[in-house]
Homo-oligomer: A and B are copies of this chain.
Amino acid sequence: MMLEVCAYPKPGNVDRCHDYPETRLEHFLASTLFARPALEEAEQGQGRIGEIIKHAVRDTNCHQGGNTHFGAFILLVPLVYGKDIAGAMAAIAKTDVSDAIAFYKAFAMTSVKIHATDELDVNDPHALTLIRDRDMTLLDVMQHSAGNDMVAREWITGFPMTRRGADLLKEIGPGRESIVRTFLVLLATEPDTFIIKKHGLAVAQETMMAARDVLDGKRTAEDLDADCIARDINPGSMADIVIASIFVALGEGWSWDS
């Protein structure tokens, strides 16, 4: 989480050279510090995934910067719990309705917006009743969201974007520049669902093509960054996936420190 937020220039997102008015570099870094107890809990490989995600959200909610790492925790908690993608998938398969309920309670603590017409709206107390009535597991909840949310989709599809990002980091080589390039390659590959929710598919696709132009040397990352910032386009889900990719790559011997 620390390495991802420091990497720059990262079009549209908070990085070492750019804050949002309400959410600053320090908020992201405070979140990396406050997340430790929950991530240590995950590392034990015991307890329930939904509850651990709730602890991570609760412990990092103490700053005034709004949601910083909710999507990252959805990916990191099972990965840290299971040690790798295979382990994460095994852990995910064991989630039950108690995980789903804990997750919804975590969601309610954040300021993350979901689709207003969603019948599983976290702000609607009726959603928890629906989850209990249908005996939905946390994996079922992710299945429900996977169409509109690439982070949830990682759970359903076996973390393919996370895997691709980890492979890219290792291919490109050690050091911080790899993180920026991996971010750009992933951004050029899939429309960011956080952008879709905020601005619609056309804008997300336009951002994909713009990332492709940066990779092709037709424009600079700094230029795309300035454009994204001016238009309030932030590929937040891609940042969550890059965090998961960094975790997986580090576990496979990739080095940030060179």
Restricting to A22-62, which residues have a CB under 8 Å from any CB of B? 24-27, 29-30, 32-33, 36
| In the complex, A16 has a CB within 8 A of chain B | yes
| In the complex, A254 has a CB within 8 A of chain B | no
* Given A29-B29, A33-B33, A257 contacting B65 (CB threshold 8 A): yes
* Given A63-B257, A257-B63, A257-B64, A25 contacting B16 (CB threshold 8 A): yes
| In the complex, A2 has a CB within 8 A of chain B | yes
| In the complex, A93 has a CB within 8 A of chain B | no
| In the complex, A228 has a CB within 8 A of chain B | no
Residues of chain B with a CB closer than 8 A to A26's CB: 2-3, 6, 176, 256-257
| In the complex, A112 has a CB within 8 A of chain B | no
Residues of chain B with a CB closer than 8 A to A63's CB: 257
Closest B residue, CB atoms, query A15? B16
Nearest Cβ on chain B to A14's Cβ, whole angstroms: 11
Q: Using CB atoms and an 8 Å cutoff, list the residues of chain A in contact with chain B.
A: 2-3, 6, 16-17, 24-27, 29-30, 32-33, 36, 63-65, 176, 256-258
22 A-B pairs (CB sep. < 8 Å): A2-B26, A2-B29, A2-B30, A6-B26, A6-B29, A16-B16, A16-B17, A16-B25, A17-B17, A26-B176, A26-B256, A26-B257, A27-B257, A29-B29, A29-B32, A32-B33, A33-B33, A33-B36, A36-B36, A63-B257, A64-B257, A65-B257
